[in-house]
Amino acid sequence: MSDGARWYVVHTYSGYENKVAATIQKTVENRGLQELIFDVRVPMETVTEVRDTGSKEVERKLFPGYVLVKMIMNDESWYIVRNTRGVTSFVGPGSKPVPLTDEEVMALGVESMEIKLSFDVGDSVKVIDGPFDGNIGIVEEISLPKKTVCINISMFGREIPVELKFNQVASLEK
């Protein structure tokens, strides 16, 4: 069905997410299917709960009832995941699973890609997209988590700070 490994969303009984993930990982290990099913995750977030006794950091499921599986989709991998105890279905129309897009995977923070920038703080960059297209500015700040860069653009005789996405600017040293 698919050439490369993609992330798929599996619907589970509520409260069975960790058990389903552990069962799938154990099945992969026992049957030697590491070349088909690469990773199984239950997306978690850390939140601060405030109670009478004080505040406490707690891990909470980001999507209760769902597990993410990175796998190469074929009949064997589909069968193994689908027939795991606690799994109700794949997310997608009918019995055809739909993989997550690269943007969705990045937004969930499940997989991180290394970002290589051709500029650094203090370098001159050209805006190549958006309302400031064509302007040249100096990089003041780079935010890797937000994937943004803050640059100063000279407009109307004064310096204006502008926050742009990484893909909206390009280095002048090409």
> What's the pLDDT at 3?
55
Query: Strands 87-90, 6-12: parallel, antiparallel or unpaired by DSSP?
Result: antiparallel
Predicted confidence (pLDDT) at residue 165 exceeds the cutoff of 50: yes
- Strand order in 136-143's β-sheet? 158-165, 148-155, 136-143, 124-127, 169-171
Residue 78, φ and ψ in degrees, nearest 5:
-60, -45
CA atoms of 21 and 129, how far apart (whole Å): 42
Q: Report yes or no: 119 and 171 within 8 Å, Cβ to Cβ.
A: yes
CA atoms of 8 and 61, how far apart (whole Å): 17
Predicted confidence (pLDDT) at residue 46 exceeds the cutoff of 90: no
Q: Let me know if residue 135 belongs to a domain.
A: yes
Which residue, of 81, 108, 135, is where some domain finishes? Answer: 108
Residue type, 7: W
Q: Let me know if residue 119 belongs to a domain.
A: no
Q: Are residues 58 and 95 in the same domain?
A: yes
Q: Report yes or no: 75 and 2 within 8 Å, Cβ to Cβ.
A: no
> What does the longest C-alpha to C-alpha distance in the chain come to?
68
CATH code of the domain covering residue 143: 2.30.30.30
Q: Are residues 87 and 141 in the same domain?
A: no
Residue 154 has which token pair?
């000279």
Q: Indicate the pTM of the whole model.
A: 0.63
- Strand order in 37-41's β-sheet? 37-41, 66-71, 6-12, 87-90
CATH code of the domain covering residue 56: 3.30.70.940
Mean pLDDT of 58-82: 90
Q: Let me know if residue 1 belongs to a domain.
A: no
At residue 1 the predicted structure's pLDDT band, cuts being 50, 70 and 90, is: very low
Domain of residue 141, residue span: 124-171
pLDDT, tens digit (0-9, with 9 covering 90-100), for 84-99? 999 999 988 877 889 9
Q: Are residues 91 and 16 in the same domain?
A: yes
Count structural domains, the chain. 2
Residue 155 DSSP SS3: strand
Q: Are residues 14 and 80 in the same domain?
A: yes
CA atoms of 10 and 95, how far apart (whole Å): 12
Which residue, of 79, 108, 137, is where some domain finishes? Answer: 108
